[in-house]
Amino acid sequence: LSRSGGRLELTWANKDMRLLTHGADTYEWVDPHDWRVSEVRLLEHLDIVGDAGSGNLLVEGDALHALTSLTSLPGLAEHYLGQVKLCYIDPPFNTGQTFQHYDDAVEHSVWLTMLRDRLAQVRRLLRPDGSVWVHLDDAEQHRARCVLDEVFGAENFVATVVWEKADSPRNSARHLSVDQDYIHVYAQDKTTWRPNRLPRTEAGDAIYKNPDDDPRGPWLPGDPFAGKPYSLGSYEVVGPTGRRFTPPAGRFWRVSLERLQELDADNRVWWGPNGDARPSIKRYLSEVGDLVPRTLWRHSEVGSNRTSSAEVRRLFDGAVSFSTPKPEALIERVLRVGTNPGDLVLDCFAGSGSTAAVAHKMGRRWVTVEVLSETLSTFIRPRLEQVVAGTDSGGVTAVAEWSGGGGFDVARVAPSMFEEDEGNVFLAEWAVGGALADAVRAQLGFTPAGPAPFVGEKGRARLAVVDGMATEGVVRLLVDQLPESTTLTIVAQALEPGLEDLVRELRPGSRVRKVPRDLATTGQLGSRLVRLGAKEPA
Ligand SMILES: C[S@@+](CC[C@H](N)C(=O)[O-])C[C@H]1O[C@@H](n2cnc3c(N)ncnc32)[C@H](O)[C@@H]1O
């Protein structure tokens, strides 16, 4: 930990740099301004499954690109920026093991940078009353807390849920059998975040008893003392058998003597089976509401690793398995605490697609992202198709009373609009005509707007994209058609000399930009490839 600007922060190698993802197993350190990490990618719409217009979205691509597109692309940002009620992520844990479907042995600094950059985008997507739930194991959970503090503010840390993932001890463990994972919960703003209470359970109710046949029904003996100083809370009380009671040192009666006597007259005070125990104030089952969510989540309530493996085996007929699925009941509890029907749920490390599947069954809207196309086509899409068709009878289907319906869109993070060859940056072959205009709008934050020849607007500025060389004639033609009191941004592949001055003279405040030169900033720092699984040189 190092102190910077008076704040305590976790620091790591290359913390000020960004990571470029190559597939799922190789990252490259690059300058934050490098176009390869700063470019806003388009999302290509591929398909609709079930009903159109559901608002549910399955995206293939790196989480960072996908989240940046959702926060920045006109047409998407309106629906997603500041709209997500809950984000649950279960990123690769960095456990040093090689999993069948992704490689997990990332250098700590790579892992922390990867997490930090994606959390920063998640934060932009969250509603002011939203929350983020980050599922981790011992490998990184302590470091991740520091990163979460940095991104969301330490004051917004809510709690860490401990999930009992093992339903029996691992007797093969060399030291101790580690039976739990952690879910760090942060609110976007803890002062306004209000979690839902959980419905009562039979097991929870069974601890209420009725040893004195109280007509009000079963009750629990409540602690009569509190640690908080209370001016009327220091007195001596005499019980039915004449025994005298005072609070232990440093504690106080919760109620005044007068109130205790009133409660006793109403048979709401319990003095033990023989009338000589210290008084407790009865808490009746009939008077307690739903349960406040607790932080210890037992496998008997929300399932274990074995439960989720069985869920995935059942969904995919035992043919293939996914290494790290999470139980539907676990996700159901997260969503029950943090969302209401109709709310938008995000998971940008989809895996087998459990978050989207549970959100769908619970009547929440969802967005989920997965980088590996094979994982998407083998697990996520078929699973969600079954949910829509109502043919997935496992997991929380019965609890959620789900019988099918709804739908989702399938999209893919588009390839970059730029290509690089021997250090030179070119426009990609696909970036022509309308596609070039789409890509330019995305980079410069313009919303689509006509009329032709203009293709976008941002405040008072109008955008024109020239697929080729901008000449003096083209510029004069564009300015002629420009509405009063607007400015012009022209983006072209080549510019005649002197055009920048001309356009500023014709319409002050206007500008000309050359693509790719002005849109693709190349990083100043040397880049270094880091392949997952390989240790960095000491
Ligand atoms: C631990 S698994 C998630 C399991 C999931 N919660 C479930 O219940 O099935 C992590 C997933 O994140 C994916 N992933 C890794 N890096 C990613 C990235 N940069 N963007 C999107 N997905 C990524 C992995 O391919 C893997 O499928």
375 lines ligand 1 (CB under 6 A): yes
| pLDDT per residue rounded down to tens, the chain (538 residues) | 555 566 788 988 889 998 887 766 677 888 888 888 888 999 999 999 999 999 999 999 999 999 999 998 888 998 999 999 999 999 987 765 544 555 555 678 888 998 999 999 999 999 999 999 999 999 889 999 999 999 999 999 999 999 999 999 999 999 999 999 999 999 999 999 999 999 888 888 899 999 999 999 999 999 999 998 999 999 999 999 999 999 999 999 999 999 999 999 999 999 999 999 999 999 999 888 888 999 999 999 999 999 999 999 888 876 667 888 999 999 999 999 999 999 999 999 999 999 999 999 999 999 999 999 999 999 999 999 999 999 999 999 999 999 999 999 999 999 999 888 877 888 899 988 888 999 999 889 898 887 889 999 999 999 999 988 999 999 999 999 999 899 999 999 989 898 989 999 999 999 999 888 888 765 443 444 444 333 333 3
* Best residue for ligand 1 mutational test, from 58, 347, 370 (most atoms within 8 Å of Cβ): 370
Rounded distance between C-alpha atoms, residue 345 and residue 480, angstroms: 47
Distance 21 CA to ligand 1 centre (A): 14
Rounded distance between C-alpha atoms, residue 373 and residue 59, angstroms: 10
Contact 245, 279 (CB under 8 A): yes
User: What per-residue confidence (pLDDT) applies to 319?
Assistant: 65
In ligand 1, the atom with minimum distance to the C-alpha of 375 is 27
Q: Coil, strand, or helix at residue 95?
A: coil
**Nearest CA residue ID for atom 2, ligand 1:** 351
User: What per-residue confidence (pLDDT) applies to 24?
Assistant: 64
Position 492, amino acid: A
Distance 144 CA to ligand 1 centre (A): 17
In ligand 1, the atom with minimum distance to the C-alpha of 21 is 19
* Best residue for ligand 1 mutational test, from 62, 89, 98, 102 (most atoms within 8 Å of Cβ): 102
Distance 292 CA to ligand 1 centre (A): 30
Nearest to 82 by CA among 71, 68, 72, 92: 71
371 lines ligand 1 (CB under 6 A): yes
Q: Show Cβ contacts of residue 130 under 8 Å, excluding neighbours closer than 6 positions.
A: 84, 85, 86, 87, 187, 188, 193
113 lines ligand 1 (CB under 6 A): no
Report if pTM > 0.75: yes
334 lines ligand 1 (CB under 6 A): no
Region of residue 231 (left: phi > 0; alpha: psi -120 to 50; beta: else): alpha
Contact 346, 86 (CB under 8 A): yes
Which token pair is 48? Answer: 């609709």
* Best residue for ligand 1 mutational test, from 121, 371, 374, 396 (most atoms within 8 Å of Cβ): 371
121 lines ligand 1 (CB under 6 A): no
92 lines ligand 1 (CB under 6 A): yes
Which token pair is 466? Answer: 């020239």
Rounded distance between C-alpha atoms, residue 33 and residue 415, angstroms: 18
Rounded distance between C-alpha atoms, residue 445 and residue 438, angstroms: 10
User: What per-residue confidence (pLDDT) applies to 537?
Assistant: 35
Which token pair is 257? Answer: 């003597």
Rounded distance between C-alpha atoms, residue 15 and residue 353, angstroms: 31
115 lines ligand 1 (CB under 6 A): no
413 lines ligand 1 (CB under 6 A): no
Distance 101 CA to ligand 1 centre (A): 9
Distance 309 CA to ligand 1 centre (A): 16
Q: Coil, strand, or helix at residue 193?
A: coil
Contact 115, 147 (CB under 8 A): yes
Contact 219, 285 (CB under 8 A): yes
Nearest to 32 by CA among 522, 518, 367: 522
Distance 92 CA to ligand 1 centre (A): 6
117 lines ligand 1 (CB under 6 A): no
**Nearest CA residue ID for atom 12, ligand 1:** 349
Position 481, amino acid: Q
Position 279, amino acid: P
Which token pair is 141? Answer: 């959970």
Backbone phi, psi, residue 89, to 5°: -130, 145
State the Cα angle at 463 between 462 and 468, rounded to 5°.
Answer: 150
Q: Show Cβ contacts of residue 458 under 8 Å, excluding neighbours closer than 6 positions.
A: 444, 445, 446, 447
